[in-house]
Amino acid sequence: MPVKPWWRETIETILWALVLALILRAFVVQAFWIPSGSMIPTLDPGDRVLVAKFWHVLSEPKRGQVIVFKYPVDPSRDFVKRIVALPGETVRMENGTVLVDGAALSEPYVVNHDNFNMPEMKVPDKHYFVMGDNRPNSQDSRFWGFVPKTFIKGPAFVRYWPLSRIGLLH
C-alpha cells in the first residue's frame, strides 16, 4: 500500500473531523449561548450550555427541565426557558404564584418573583407552557403562548462556560 503524502493525510483528517462535527451538532449535542437575564440565577447572560438534541428518543419533556426551543413568534430565534406545565394540564398565576391543576408549584429556582396574575389556561396536546426563572424580566408563555413539542431542540444539561460555574443543570 503506497504511503499518502502528508498534505493529503492532513486534508482527509480535517474533512473527516468536519463531517463528524456536523453530524454531532445536527443529531447529538449543540452548544448555545445565553444572551439575556431571563433565567437568572440558573443561567446568567454569557453562559454557554450544551443541549441534548437526541432527548426525544430517551424520554418525554418533564416539568422543571430547562429547554432550548425555537421562539414561537420568530422560529429563526432560539430561546431558553423552564417547562412549567405539560400537555393537558391547566396553568394559572395568582400574585406571581404558579398553579398547575390547582396546586401551587414549588419553585426554589425562582429568586426574583413578580405579582403577575394570569387566568387559567389549558395546555394543548403536544405543547408546553414555559417560563424564565427571573420572572420580572422574562418574555415567556405568559405573553406569547405555548411551545409546540416540535419546536423543542432539547434540554440544556450542562453549563460549560464560564469555567467558574461549570456543571450539570438541574
pLDDT score for 4:
80
Confidence at residue 168, expressed as pLDDT on a 0 to 100 scale = 87
Of 15-24, 40-49, 127-136, 143-152, where does mean pLDDT reach its minimum?
15-24
- Report the C-alpha gap between 31 and 23 in whole angstroms: 14
Kindly report, residue by residue over 139-153, the tens digit of the pLDDT. 999 999 999 999 999
Q: Give the separation between CA 155 and CA 67, rounded to whole angstroms.
A: 4
Q: What residues are labeled active site?
A: 38, 81
> What is the average per-residue pLDDT within 91-109?
95
Over range 116-127, report the average pLDDT.
96
DSSP H helices in the chain: 6-27, 55-58, 141-144
Average pLDDT in the chain: 90
Q: Cell numbers at residue 15, please? A: 474533512
The x, y and z cell numbers of residue 2, run together, are: 503506497
Q: Pick the residue with more confidence: 55 or 32?
A: 32
Q: Is the pLDDT of residue 134 over 80?
A: yes
Average pLDDT on 12-19 reads 76
Q: Is residue 54 predicted with pLDDT exceeding 90?
A: no
Confidence of residue 104 (pLDDT cuts 50, 70, 90): very high
Within 10 A of 101 (CB to CB), how many other CB atoms are there? 13
CA atoms within 13 A on the CB side of 73: 7
What residues does each domain of the chain span? Answer: 31-168
- Residue 72, pLDDT > 80, answer yes
Is the pLDDT assigned to residue 128 strictly greater than 80?
A: yes
Predicted pLDDT of residue 103:
96
Domain at 31-168: CATH architecture:
Ribbon (2.10)
pLDDT at 27 over 70: no
Give the C-alpha separation, 77 to 96, whole Å: 27
Question: Does pLDDT of 91 surpass 80?
Answer: yes
What pTM was estimated for this model as a whole? 0.83
